[in-house]
Structure 1
């Protein structure tokens, strides 16, 4: 069997998929080749294989036309992704299966992918509605992290039981291997809070609340602060946002706009407090139940909305004046939220927590034999 794994976005995809590609390549009769679009992906894949102590499958860069390169230079990355996929259909049609880790891969059949089975290794495990999630129905096999996500997509008629497998969250396997590399420490010795805003304009808390939050942390003495927005926050603007944000660095404020620590659970595993809005990284943080504070500057009507289920796991702040007081009382109120955190974490990722990479590889191998 010839299997192509495709990385068509930023290197965060590596931490969800690389361990599965390695596990599948170790099963006799499966030849795995990886394709990447972002040059930085190579370094991250190498780091993961080194940590896992496994050989790397063959790796190829997606060839790109002048149009694709211009879109990349203009930072129109979503458009570039579609152009790159369309230009490489003939290359991918040589395989028995193509494995992607985002819904966008569902357009491949419409673009002309005819021979290979299309497999989705779903990344992220949050509650947020994603506008291209309807593409899930285009995949021949979908691997999901846990029963929560499985039920969500089956209830909406996007997945059928016979084409769905619950395998867990391979990123935890990668974290288990790389966690010894990075320790976050501040000279003052205080614990740190992680601020992890999403990039989507209609939902992010960053636009109006990030700077007041940073100022608030500089004025208190309980926590340090790590500011690590979703990597796609910096898609546009030609680096202006990064430069503006980096000016906020201080001895008690660490700003990260693109390091591996943003991607590999370094911050989510070590933070004492999570502050965010709709990023699915909150579920990675809850591998160890800890206090959460969620920011709702637009006063969205979130109660009883399944897309904001994680907002039941900590206090939701809607007024800027209440931001720092909520952070100050988060530890005291954590006991109230902890049972719900533990329950929802199990529903999100299933059990056991480790071993998802091998379970996903076995599911792909079994599916291909039966196909």
Structure 2
């Protein structure tokens, strides 16, 4: 048998190396599409937890041979240190990568939804594997256009907005990216909405981010829960970013700030008109963005998934941001922005029905953020882009 590497199937790994599940739906739908597009390639899945592996399997086509699953794990001592530090620093993620560098060298490419993997490039492993990036969301925060993205060999993008900002930031080139759409929409399309309350009141989704600088939770969170607990006009879904309650101590890489996590008073969970979810699969599968009538939030990219169907939105400026004209807060043009909670009741009453002006802004922003007109589903477009970039037989 020939030992010529050119006669071996190209190995493409889909790497999921995060302690939460919110990134899975962004790249997992591409796995089966790539198996169909490039059947001669060896497509494999690499996860850092059993929960990740189980989540990925939900997106696979049962009519295709299942890909090989491989597991990477951090050193037990590193995991203990991470826990002692309140999970503030992703030591396990980095250690799992470091311990698996020999495994990764046997892959021609790794497809990833986060930037920690650029650790491999920083360590001088520059030629193999190629790193292919798809961002887990289409939000506006500046960290989504960080210089780390420039370390990727190829970048798949959901729409023109992300492309234009990355080009302006100099983190992609005209020849190393492709706009393919948003596989997460494809993955959760055509599902019936979930009814969470036994009444017909409007449903408000409060969706604060975890960043301790930008999140409204630390300044306004308990007051918001108190407000909804004491009224009978609205139902409330409290479904923050999954990382808000994942860690005891929250760190902002972007803003160099630390804050301890605040607890939720159990009395709120006992109320029939308040639904609390701090990290189940429903908080990442668009269940709540689909069920809500009004969005209440700060800087989470979930606002862009919410405006797939234009609806009222209210934003909380808890950190005194000078946001007008700032691209990092472009989504705050989708509805009124409150600097304090004194006007929350009036804003809730006034924001529905959605005005024509806000509807036009949301519709234009959605079209700019997501390429929905590619002819083929996003997973197929992404698979084609990967196959062509890697020169896989199709």
TM-score bracket for the superposition, by shorter chain length? over 0.9
Corresponding position of 1:263? 284
Q: Which moved more, 1:330-339 or 1:220-229?
A: 330-339
Q: CA deviation at 1:165?
A: 0.3
Relative to structure 1, the CA distance from residue 299 to residue 206 in structure 2 (aligned partners, 3 Å threshold; closer, same or farther) is same
Q: Any gaps of 5 or more consecutive residues in structure 2?
A: 1-9, 250-259
Helix, strand or coil: the match of 1:211?
helix
Q: 1:292 to 1:53 in 2, by over 3 A?
A: farther
Asked if 2 retains the 8 angstrom alpha-carbon contact of 1:49 and 1:55, the reply is no
Per the alignment, residue 252 of structure 1 pairs with 273
1:228 and 2:249 correspond: no
- Measure, in 1, the Cα distance between the counterparts of 2:268 and 2:211: 22
Shift of 1:49: 2.9
Residue 28 (1) aligns with residue 6 (2): no
TM-score norm. by structure 2 comes to: 0.87
Moved over 6 A (4+): none
Distance in structure 2 (CA, Å) of the matches to 1:2 and 1:174: 24
| 265-274 or 57-66, which deviates more | 57-66
Which residue does the alignment assign to 2:103? 91
Q: Which moved more, 1:217-226 or 1:356-365?
A: 217-226
Partner of 1:311: 332
Kindly indicate whether residue 119 of structure 2 is the aligned counterpart of residue 102 of structure 1: no
Report the 3-state secondary structure (helix = DSSP H, G, I; strand = E; otherwise coil) of the residue aligned with 2:188.
Answer: helix
Change beyond 3 A, Cα 1:100–1:261: same
Q: Aligned residues, how many?
A: 368
Matches within 5 A, 1:160-175: 160-175=173-188
Corresponding position: 1:146 with 2:146: no
Deviations 1:211-257 (A, max 9, x none): 1112222233332000011111123229x958635542110000001
SS of 1:190's equivalent in the other structure is: coil
Q: Which secondary structure state, in structure 2, belongs to the residue aligned with residue 200 of structure 1?
A: coil
Match of 2:257 in 1: none
Quote the Cα distance in structure 2 between the aligned partners of 1:247 and 1:43: 33
1:18 and 2:39 correspond = no
Of Structure 1 and Structure 2, which has the larger fraction of its residues in helix?
A: 1
Using the TM superposition, name which of 343-352 and 217-226 deviates more: 217-226
Give the aligned CA root-mean-square deviation in angstroms: 2.3
Secondary structure of residue in 2 paired with 1:11 = coil
Quote how far apart the aligned CAs of 1:118 are: 1.1
1:7 aligns to 2:19 (yes or no):
no
8 A contact 2:74–2:92 mirrored in 1 = no
Q: Distance in 2 between matches of 1:11 and 1:218?
A: 29
Report deviation, 1:53: 6.4
| Match among 384, 391, 394 for residue 362 of structure 1 | 384
1:127 corresponds to which residue? 140
Q: Is the 8 A contact 2:145 2:166 kept in 1?
A: no
Deviation at residue 46 of structure 1 after TM alignment: 2.6
Question: Which stretches in structure 1 are left out of the alignment for 5+ residues?
Answer: none
Partner secondary structure for residue 143 of structure 2: coil
Structure 1 residues 132, 78: CA separation in 2 closer, same or farther (over 3 Å shift)?
A: farther
Q: Which has the larger radius of gyration?
A: 2
Cα pair 1:71 1:80 within 8 Å, conserved: no
Counterpart among 197, 200, 206 of residue 195 in structure 1: 206
